[in-house]
Structure 1
Amino acid sequence: MKTNNERIISLDQFKDKHFGVLGTPSRNALELGYEHFKIGAMIHEARLQKGMTQEELALKVGTTKSYISRIENGVKEARFSTLQKIVELGLGGQLEVSIKM
């Protein structure tokens, strides 16, 4: 019989088992979806810290409330130029990009 500790696996092991290893199409889709979710969550958190509604942010950026909502909820992927407008014009922040190899 397995003990509780023997049944514990890491998140990477779980993803490998259920979605394949890095580089496979299903795993790549999972990782990309997570990145969209993460960006949306960061925008949502920053907007709340600024005390803004989705509609107020949309007005500053020149888009719609529903578009902001779709980005925040990871339903819609924002283009880089739109993301830059949201962060800089809408939230008064600075967008930083890095490349990891």
Structure 2
Amino acid sequence: MKVKNSNVTTLSDFKDKHYGKRGSAKREELEAGYESFKLGALLHEARLEKGLTQEELAEKVGTTKSYISKIENDVKEVRLSTLQKIVEVGLGGHISLAIKF
């Protein structure tokens, strides 16, 4: 039998308490920022799995090391077409998108 620890707060409960419920402006801003951060983290992880440096990846897709770094560190937003080129040409993968309600 699993016992619930009453001192544990789920991430969802934490966000509800500190940022409001989904649909509130503050919460939606948080969620949008997380998605952007997650994208950079996914690219970083994929690049490392392929054994590439930022410079090597940049050369493969015709951009700069600085640009790759800015995407990975959530400093710069990336266009979908550019992301597709980085993933397909640079990393040899593909992008899968979903729309959720």
- State TM-score, norm by structure 2: 0.88
- Runs of 4+ in structure 1 displaced over 6 angstroms? none
Distance 2:78 2:94 in 1: 16
How far did 1:87 drift? 0.2
SS of structure 1 residue aligned to 2:18:
helix
Distance 2:37 2:95 in 1: 17
Report the equivalent of 1:65. Answer: 65
In the alignment of these two chains, the number of paired residues is 97
Task: In structure 2, list runs of 5 or more residues that go unmatched.
Answer: none
Deviations 1:24-62 (CA, angstroms, capped at 9, x unpaired): 111111111111111111111111111110011111111
Deviations 1:53-93 (CA, angstroms, capped at 9, x unpaired): 00111111111111111111122221111110110011111
- The AA in structure 2 aligned to 1:51 is G
Identical aligned residues as a percent = 65
Task: In structure 1, list runs of 5 or more residues that go unmatched.
Answer: none
Greater relative CO, 1 or 2 (CA 8 Å, sep 6+):
1
Distance 1:99 1:6 in 2: 34
Distance 1:92 1:6 in 2: 46
Report the equivalent of 1:11. Answer: 11
Report the equivalent of 1:89. Answer: 89
